[in-house]
Structure 1
Amino acid sequence: MKKSPSILFLITLLCFSCSKAPQRENIDFEAWGKYWFQGKAEISSFDLSQYRYGEERTGEAVLIFVTEDFSRSKQVKLDDPNAAGKDKVAVLKMNQTRDFVTGIYPYHMMLSAFTPTKEKAQGLKFTASVQEWCGQTFTQLNKSGEQSYTGKLFSYFEKEGDAALSVTGLAEDDLWNLIRISPSEIPIGGVQVFPSLFYQRTTHEPLKAEEAFIRVHDISNNRKQLELTYGSGLRVLKIDFEKDFPHEIMAWEEIQTKSNGQQEITKAKRKAIKVIDYWKQNKVEDEFLRQELKLNF
């Protein structure tokens, strides 16, 4: 017997309801949305001390957080969210840039992370690019399962070439967005984590997850610190953030231990913050805003 269109629609709707992703709990999204859904981005600038080639480099980092309507199927920003239907998912996007100089030539690094805001799910997509005078690389990971990712690395290095990637676990780069969504969403204790795409690019190590330990603890009356320690002991990430909403990120530290026991410590400390629709501030007369953000690069 042929089902009528209305019955087919009800069956489809019922199946969607049954498979609907679990929602994040204990978050007042009405209050959350007054900050994050106001049609602006939060931009923070940081003084950066970045280790590269065994030496400490002085530079600048920028964190940009903004909400977007994302496509579940294509994992890109939607051009027409109103027409996307169930394909639309709200995400918090972090863009992180780092600029510094190594000797005569500059480094420009950028990382993006896209994490669902209301749906209790891991990040959907992570990308990283590095440009310097020797060449450039680009890495992209797309979520392909509940905790699994597939992607590609495009590099000017012969041994890396155009390589396919696959990894299962929690992305270190997801933690920045989880802090901003709600620190209660940070998984505590032993977790399978794969390191930042920035770390992978600067070490050229294969991307793989390992057992790591995550804790969040008070460091002052107003601040908390997320501390991620990998079981291998080769990497520690510490992110300092405000206890109160919207949990602004104030500083971070990355400790890399070399095979000879030497430690290389990369640090960043915030110097300015601004909430603004920066994509509209693109005229010459808007360049004074860079001074307000204390941007030098």
Structure 2
Amino acid sequence: MKQTITKNFLLLVLALAIVFAFAMRATIFQQPAAQTAKPAEKPSPDFAAYWFAGKAELNHYKLQQAQYGVLNPGEAVLIFVTEDFRTDTQVKSESEPGSRTTSRANAVPVLKTNISRTFVTGIYDYSLFTSVFTPINNPSFPNTLKVSTSAQEWCGHSYLQVNYQNSGYRVVGKSYFEKEVNEDYVVEKAILEDELWNRIRINPDKLPTGDIRLIPGTASARLRHKTLEPLAATAKLDDYEGVLFPGKFLKSYTVQYPTDDRTLMIVFERAFPHRIVGWEETYPSKDALLTSRAVLTKTIQNDYWNHNQPADSTLRAELMK
């Protein structure tokens, strides 16, 4: 026995060392991964009470939308809601809260913007729908993860999707129009214009100001048949002094694109929850410099996904007043 121990002394010492290392979590296999997610910042009590109460905020706007060199009447609906969003596949996590599935493990809370714009041009309709998914105060995922926009009108329809990928954004598009029929390209990382709505709702004090670079809005790009790319812009945050939008103690966030001859202004309430009371977008349409404008008419909070029966049309009538 003594002879056996002597012959295998080094092996025994090595085995004991490995066992000790695992016990102390000291091996390279046991070390915390370099990319371990950092904990998200805890939202304020007011933010949590408003945004995690199981309801969405629904806003209806009277819209005047520039297209074909004129302003066209329509309406817009702006929806904000929180949900758990997968960072790997960049889709909504549909696993039950508390489950240990891959879906839930790879999910982070996001604030989602849905913007629906509908308007009429002469005899036919236009409909645009944009969704934006922005993680809420998560240092491991500081960038908006995804934007998608679809556009439908009587000539045809198109779809554009932007995904955060490898420290940049991949843009994929399909369209009825020849020049946009099959798009697939990558742009460098920059702030997305489409995420500004979420940034206002999360914390308007952190909006970027001064000389910045932005990727213009996807709906505007589709209406004007523009390729997405980061552009130089100037942004400023001011008190709103006008009278076109409802409410008191309003702020305005204005973005100017000097190389694109385009300006966007979003007007919102200074106090939490920083409700967006309207916006203006100015750019050339045919030979005219026109300003599209959306003015808030109604806001309600509602778990709209549970109200999809004919009897629930009364809720729609309330919103669309």
Q: TM-score, normalised by structure 2?
A: 0.84
One-letter amino acid of the structure 1 residue matched with residue 70 of structure 2: E
2:154 is matched with: 133
Encode CA deviations 1:179-198: one digit per residue, 9 max, x unaligned: 00010221111111011001
1:233 Cα offset (Å):
5.2
Matched residue type, 2:192: A
Out of 36, 41, 66, the position equivalent to 2:81 is 66
1:126-168 CA deviation, whole Å, 9 max, x = no partner?
A: 000001111110000100144x200210001122211103222
Alpha-carbon shift at residue 11 of structure 1 (Å): 5.5
The aligned amino acid for 2:108 is V
Q: How does 1:66-215 map to 2 (within 5 A)?
A: 66-80=81-95, 81-82=97-98, 83=100, 84=103, 86-120=105-139, 121-146=142-167, 148-168=168-188, 169-215=190-236
3-state SS, counterpart of residue 48 of structure 2: helix
Alpha-carbon contact 1:151-1:164 (below 8 Å) kept = yes
Distance (whole Å) between structure 2 residues aligned to residue 287 and residue 266 of structure 1: 29
**Is the contact between residue 90 and residue 118 of structure 1 (CA under 8 Å) also seen in structure 2?**
no
1:241 alignment partner AA: F
Q: Does 1:245 align with 2:245?
A: no
How big is the shift at 1:20?
3.4
Deviation at 1:125, TM superposition (A): 0.1
Cα deviation, residue 219, structure 1: 1.4
Work out whether residues 149 and 166 of structure 1, in 8 Å CA contact, stay in contact via their aligned partners in 2: yes
Q: CA deviation at 1:283?
A: 1.0
Matched AA of 2:259: S
Matching residue within 288, 292, 297 for 2:318: 292
Alignment of 1:231-270 (within 5 A): 231-232=258-259, 234-257=261-284, 262-270=288-296
Which amino acid in the other structure matches residue 151 of structure 1? V
Taking the aligned partners of 1:37 and 1:239, their CA distance within structure 2 comes to: 24
**What is the alpha-carbon root mean square deviation over aligned residues?**
2.4
Checking the alignment, whether the CA contact within 8 Å between 1:72 and 1:87 is kept in structure 2 is yes
**1:14 counterpart SS class:** coil
Who wins on radius of gyration, i.e. which is larger? 2
Distance 2:47 2:154 in 1: 42
- Which AA in structure 1 matches 2:222? R
User: Is 1:20 the counterpart of 2:37 in the alignment?
Assistant: yes
- Aligned letter for 2:107? K
C-alpha separation between the residues in 2 aligned to 1:5 and 1:115?
Answer: 40
Q: CA deviation at 1:34?
A: 0.2
1:172-225 deviation line (CA, Å, top 9, x unaligned): 001000000010221111111011001110111221111111111111551100
The answer as to whether partners of 2:69 and 2:286 remain within 8 angstroms in 1 is: no
Judged with a 3 Å threshold, the aligned counterparts in structure 2 of structure 1 residues 12 and 158 are, in CA distance, closer, same or farther, namely: farther
- What does the per-residue CA deviation read over 1:204-262, in whole Å, with 9 as the maximum and x for residues that have no partner? 122111111111111155110000111315110000000000000001000103686x3
Q: Which runs of 5+ in 1 are unaligned?
A: none
> Matches of 1:277 and 1:52 in 2, distance apart?
34
Unaligned runs of 5+ in 2: 1-13, 242-247
How far has the Cα of 1:277 moved from its partner?
A: 0.2
For 1:127 and 1:21, the matched residues in 2 are separated by 27
Identity %: 36
Task: State the alpha-carbon separation in 1 of the partners of residues 45 and 231 from structure 2.
Answer: 37
SS at match of 2:178: coil
Residue of structure 1 equivalent to 2:4: none
1:281 aligns with 2:307: yes
* Number of residue pairs aligned between Structure 1 and Structure 2: 290
Q: Is the 8 A contact 1:153 1:165 kept in 2?
A: no
Closer, same or farther in 2 for the Cα pair 1:56/1:23, shift >3 Å? same
The alignment's TM-score, normalised by the length of structure 1, stands at 0.90
Verify the 8 A CA contact 1:228 1:237 in the aligned structure 2: yes
